[in-house]
Amino acid sequence: MSEGLEIYFETIFTIQMKKIQLLVLLVFCGVNWALAQTTELPSLEDFLQKNKLATQASPEGLHCSISKKGTGKMPVKGEYALVKYRAMLLDSTVFDQSPEGDPLVFQVGNHEVIKGLDHGVQLLKKGSEATFFLPPSLGYQQYGEGAVPPNAALIYEVELLDVMNFEQYDQYMRDLEARERAMYEANKKLQFQRDLKAIEEYANAKGLAVRRTNTGLSYGLTTTGKGTPPKPGDKVKVAYEGVLLDGTPFDQSENFEFTLGAAKVIEGWEEGLQYFTPGAEGWLLVPSKLAYGPVSVGKVPPNSVLIFKIKMLKN
């Protein structure tokens, strides 16, 4: 799979995860109903009356206070709403919000968010800012979710940034993917430069004589072997110890056998072991992009430079 497609699917996944946070989770999870009912929560009506809030009520029970009237169109079912929001309990505890510069987009009427948010945006024009006061029936109902207790009324501060048809939504997603890809590439380049500097400093501090290849891999031989270095398709057998830059061990083996070029090991090994003839010993200093990249694997944190002490065994 190409990196562009990986970033696209990562972008889609991120957006869908934001939607999932707002979904009405109608799932029976062995909730202790008796315990849930013992917690007395303030009612929405009492809250509005106590705070003397002037709102407009919808037939569904949503109360709305518009602080800024927009001038654009109002979304209808099937269109896409782009919103910034902050979600709170009645005691002002924030349990969810859209990150700065990263609004939520969802299809209106498609059950992608809680009923109150879906219903509320249909009362606004593009450019509007409003506060929605939602009864539990339009929120997470008797189930609760995360920091939201069962039967909790909710407050949503919402800004309707845009209303899009499918073609506009599709272009928005393409632009978002392009921005995410550019950011990903910039971060990857920056991380690579940091890794090269860290590898150079590590080698100098340990007194290791290493050479850097065009890919950024550094290797050094402390004992030369005999014979022909392996090539892709050859079976190789190695003893190794793997540590992080701070010396933390994460893996080792006295007899690890695999086929070179079969995508069974990290890229740093696929390249680096071709410099080791049978009996050779030495080091591989692997930048994160030739190891596990931004992914955490076992004891290896994301974006980690890996240090390997290698001995190529004879088959």
Please name the helix (run of DSSP H) or strand (run of DSSP E) that holds residue 158, with its range, or none.
strand 154-164
Residue 246 has pLDDT above 50, yes or no: yes
Reported as a pLDDT band with limits 50, 70 and 90, residue 253 is very high
Reported as a pLDDT band with limits 50, 70 and 90, residue 27 is very low
pLDDT tens column, 274-297 = 999 999 999 999 999 999 999 999
Reported as a pLDDT band with limits 50, 70 and 90, residue 154 is very high
Contacts of 236 (CB under 8 A, 6+ apart): 230, 257, 258, 259, 260, 273, 312, 315
Position 39 scores a pLDDT of 54
Reduced to 3 states (helix: H, G, I; strand: E, B; else coil), residue 117 is helix
Instruction: Give the mean pLDDT of 139-149.
Output: 94
Reported as a pLDDT band with limits 50, 70 and 90, residue 21 is very low
Which 8-state DSSP code applies to residue 311? Answer: E
Architecture label for domain 194-313: Roll (3.10)
Please name the helix (run of DSSP H) or strand (run of DSSP E) that holds residue 103, with its range, or none.
none
For the chain, what is the mean pLDDT? 88
Cβ neighbours, 10 Å, residue 126? 18
pLDDT tens column, 176-215 = 999 999 999 999 999 999 999 999 999 999 999 999 999 9
Helices 3-22 and 166-206 cross at an angle (nearest 10°) of 110
Residue 22 has pLDDT above 90, yes or no: no
Reported as a pLDDT band with limits 50, 70 and 90, residue 37 is very low
pLDDT tens column, 59-98 = 999 999 999 999 988 999 999 999 999 999 999 999 999 9
CATH of domain 3-164: 3.10.50.40
Reported as a pLDDT band with limits 50, 70 and 90, residue 25 is very low
Instruction: Give the mean pLDDT of 160-189.
Output: 95
Of the candidates 145, 77, 144, the one whose C-alpha atom is nearest the C-alpha of residue 111 is 77
- 117, amino acid identity: L
Position 251 scores a pLDDT of 96
Instruction: Give the mean pLDDT of 25-36.
Output: 36
> What percent of the chain has pLDDT above 70?
87
Task: For tokens 């501060």, name the residue.
Answer: 157
Contacts of 41 (CB under 8 A, 6+ apart): 90, 149, 151, 152, 153
Domain layout of the chain by residue ranges: 3-164, 194-313
Position 1 scores a pLDDT of 37
Reported as a pLDDT band with limits 50, 70 and 90, residue 100 is confident
Of the candidates 261, 259, 9, the one whose C-alpha atom is nearest the C-alpha of residue 1 is 9
pLDDT tens column, 9-18 = 454 445 454 4
Instruction: Give the mean pLDDT of 230-256.
Output: 95
